[in-house]
Structure 1
Amino acid sequence: MVKIGNIDLGEFPLLLAPMEDVSDPPFRQVCKENGADMMYTEFVSSEGLIRNAAKSVQKLDIFEYERPVGIQLFGSDVETMAECTRIATKAHPDLIDINYGCPVKKVACRGAGAALLQDIPLMARMTEAVVKATHLPVTVKTRLGWDEATKNIEEVAERLQDVGIQALSIHGRTRAQLYKGEADWRLIAKVKENQRIKIPIFGNGDIDSPEKAMEYKNRFGIDGIMIGRAAIGYPWIFNEIKHFLATGEYLDAPTMIQRVAAAKQHLMFSVQWKGPVLGILEMRRHYSNYFKGLPHFKEFRMKLVQSMELDEILETMDIILKEFDGVILETKAKVVAYGGID
């Protein structure tokens, strides 16, 4: 069994990666219902939280259905991160996660996220301060290193374990790579194989099918897998992987009924949580992924992303459900024929 503190995650957990502007409560809900074992909030700015910025505070919203869930924090100042941790702890998550992996300029150029990979002593001090500021388990998500010349993840893992983290998720790219090229899991495996490392090690990067999940599980020996981009618009990937690992067989592709139902559920919760304007606007980025692969979909997508009326969007989804009876749908594993609406 894989455990983070007292949190039991089962034999081989599948984690939903924290993703800015994606992994909010509405998205987490559909992923939880489709097999995600552990989830994280979008990353929360320590400075924004201390300033009581509305967007940062709202990201602390968690719901009972999604447990276990972690709040992910990022920042560049040790004391600010400690204070932010104390505030986040009051929101009653199951753990606190520190972001040392975000590669985007607006984060890294401010000395936060993956920038800390350039200063391991500072990273260790910050992590220790966070650990001391909460009674909750503290975990970390990071990358292999800043660039090809400084892949220091083995040292990072030891140093952070020494100051008290209870799990480590590693994305198999450097900061310099951003999301380009293929994720390299060999160093993730070396961290897991290190006799000094006793905490769970989760691998992240490029897992987009049940076959790859099984291959990487067997090949690299990690304790679990963190899935990010592959779950956007396709929350079924978690149960597809679980089923394949357990049986060696594929689940059927999600039917059009399931796709429309998930998109509707996501939309309705988005409107409920964010309000009708922001909820509708921020849902627009998801439609292409929910209906990816449908032929001649552009006309319907334009209706979905141009309307500001909830009833009109729901009606368009109902039309999509009827229009695409009998199409070929893609799973994350293979292409299967869909025979029609039940």
Structure 2
Amino acid sequence: MKRIAFAVAFMVLLGTLAGCVVNDEDRDGDGLTKENERQGWEVHVVYPHAKNTTTYHVTSDPNKKDTDGDGLTDYEEFLYPDGRATDPNKKDTDGDGLTDYEEFTLGTNPIHWQHDLDDDGFIDYDEITYYKQHGITHEKILDYIQTQDVDGDGVPDGYDRDPLRDLRVEVRITEIMLMSYLDSPDDGIIEGEINISFDNSWVEFEETLIPRTNQSFNLSHIFDLTDFGVPGDTNAFSIVIKDSDEGEGLKAKSFEDGIPEYDFARLFEGNQPVYAVNFDILTDCTAYHTWGTDGELWFEVIDRSVEVDGS
């Protein structure tokens, strides 16, 4: 009886130990035999901006279930859906900025760099590169490549001059000094009309201007700029100051062609009556001091763009 009990106990022990013995055919339990992993397979990949397919042979580690640690087992990399076998030694087979596992979950092609997940006109590789350069976290990037208009300005990211900012500027008139009497007849007071415009938006300020007096102002307006375009595109920016007196005071009489015109204050380079430039928000936001025959003008342009939180 004791022998039978001993034999039963021994068999139980063997059964327990058998569960601990590693299957030598698939040591890491990833679904591929040791021989499969050593023989390997071919990967056919198109790298960023490459025109041709690169084909090379890969093998995986028979002692690791997930050789590259990307979240896909070696078996899943070998039998990737639609025959798109990936490289078990690279987390990102095609080098597009997304790991093979991320591409599996997003449904993009892990062996071809060119895809646009949200159809915003911004290829995912280029979009990822852009966001990385601007310090956006990878977690946020995964959200952004699935969002057509990240900054919510109404322009899809692929057609947006700055997909991370709704572009806005504040124009502030700070000082005006007129050295000429624009009135006719001269009453010592000029009913000034100050017009500022960006693209198709404009604002008008009516102010009393006193000749030969340096006057301080705090006239400001925030313009929502046109975001459509590419980085480096500019906006049409202009300033005009004129005498808005009614009657004859509204008109200048000194033009050679004899045709009456509004009496504009020439406060800009070359004695121009209009300040008109192509404005680049990336380089031109600063303080300005201009002057001409009729006096001087001080103003500043401040970047008031609304940024998205990329942390």
Instruction: Indicate the TM-score class for this superposition, using the shorter chain for normalisation.
Output: under 0.3
Bigger radius of gyration among the two: 2
TM-score w.r.t. length of structure 2: 0.18
Of Structure 1 and Structure 2, the greater helix share is in: 1
The TM-score, its normalising length taken from structure 1, stands at 0.17
